[in-house]
Amino acid sequence: MRHRYSILFFPLHVIIDFLSLNTAFLSAYWMKFQSLEAVAEAPYASLWWLFNIIWLIEILLLKPYIYPRQLFKSGHLIRQLLLLTFIHMAVIAVCWVAIQGYYYSREQLLVTYILFLSLGAAFRIGGVLFLKEYRARGYNNRRYIIVGYGKLANTIRAFYDAHPEMGFHFCGYFDESTSENARFLQGGYETLLEYTRSNRIDCVYCCMPYMDNERLKSVVENAEILDYQVKILVDFRGFIARSTSVEYHDVLPVLNLSSDLVSDFRVSVFKRAFDIVFALLALILGSPLFLIIAVITRLTSFGPTFYAQERIGKGGKPFKIYKFRSMYVDAEKMGPVLSGGLLDNRITPWGRFMRKTRLDEIPQFYNVLIGDMSVVGPRPERQYFIDQIVEIAPEYRSLLTVKPGITSIGQIKYGYAASIDEMVQRLRYDLLYPKRRSFLFDIWIIAQTLRVMAQGRGK
């Protein structure tokens, strides 16, 4: 039998959780009453049985111990434990009120749950650490092959190579042999099924860009006979939407890559209202400071106070972005050039101070007010640089689905970019924003920006 020990994980998990629950209940009872003599008698015997019955029902209904190896992580397991415990507490509370069991000790109940969470979390963390080490040493591994050779195939292999604790052992690529890929292949389609059977392969990854439906059908039809899993890889990088969903047209599954319009509408309306209020407050309350900055900018170097430049906004729409001028006049007379950081000799001495404290970005609150920008969002770039970025990182296009912002995760974590490569590195941070966009996340980014400004850590 394959993975004869893996089948023990489920009953072992169930047994340990029941032991933890009962140990916590009895320990809390002893801590409260300094004795265990009456715990098996009324009224606590009924409560003890109820604790176990409710936990058993949760296991049967929610099936909390069935998950793929990719989710066998401490954080996921502890969040799941917290959810199960919260449901358990809620049901116990309802039963308590229904039977008017006010004679039960609240302290004993509270301590029971604290001990149970502590024991459950300790078991899960210990189990994850043990399995990571056990699998990293080569035990309890799943053998897998990849059908179809290309970038996508290399990506999934690199993922498992970087995470040996998941216990996936690579056994080879299979594809139609060509002069370009022959040296990388374990075999072709004609040897695939025999290799899978003789080498007891557990999982076959099929890369859809590199294999046709007939060959995929053959792999799927033999999966049950040869006892392996089939997983299909489709390359959605660069265009997958924030709220992907599966729709069924009769029996035909359709992947919907469009974002959730209702959710987006609510977020956009609330975010726009916040932007207007925040921008108005910033412009009104900060007007004395802005006037001082404007005067210093004008007096410390020849040229206008403000600087306007075309940037690309939401949906690829160009707009004029406004800043306090931090460079000498005609700094880009030879064409578009990225800033070389604070040591760039095109930046004025006062401009270096403004960039370190991000004061040069303040006029963009006007852009926020007229709707070109948001307070928080990925930084807008010029079309000249976007064209170069997209060649390296096509996923940049997803940032054009939201309004650009005055500040962003990339601005906090990375700062100003001095080259295309640095812009791509900063992009890695900003790509998090469309997926995690929320009011609380915006507040966190604004707070971090104020900290960077106060510390003068902008670059």
What pLDDT, in 10s, does the model give residues 99-122?
A: 887 788 889 999 999 999 999 999
Q: For 278-311, what is each residue's pLDDT tens digit?
A: 999 989 988 999 999 999 998 998 889 998 989 9
Mean pLDDT of the chain: 83
Percent of the chain exceeding pLDDT 70 equals 86
Which structure tokens are listed for 356? 């370190």
pLDDT winner (highest mean) among 12-21, 94-103, 268-277, 446-455: 12-21
Question: What pLDDT sits at residue 417?
Answer: 73
Residue with tokens 């996923």: 395
Q: For 3-61, what is each residue's pLDDT tens digit?
A: 545 566 778 888 999 999 999 999 999 999 998 988 888 889 999 999 999 999 998 88
Question: What pLDDT sits at residue 425?
Answer: 81
Question: What pLDDT sits at residue 261?
Answer: 46
Strands 374-376 and 405-407: parallel
185 phi/psi in degrees, rounded to 5 = -90, 145
Question: What pLDDT sits at residue 249?
Answer: 62
Stretch 271-275: mean pLDDT: 88
pLDDT at position 171 over 60: yes
Domain with CATH 3.40.50.720 in the chain: 142-235
Distance CA 94, CA 72 (A): 32
pTM higher than 0.85 for the full model?
Answer: no
Cβ neighbours of residue 212 under 8 Å, at least 6 residues apart?
none
Q: Which of the following CATH numbers is that of domain 142-235: 3.30.565.10, 3.30.70.100, 3.40.50.720, 3.40.228.10?
A: 3.40.50.720
Residue (of 418, 433, 421) closest to 374 by Cα position:
433
Angle at 78 between CA 77 and CA 81, to 5 degrees: 90
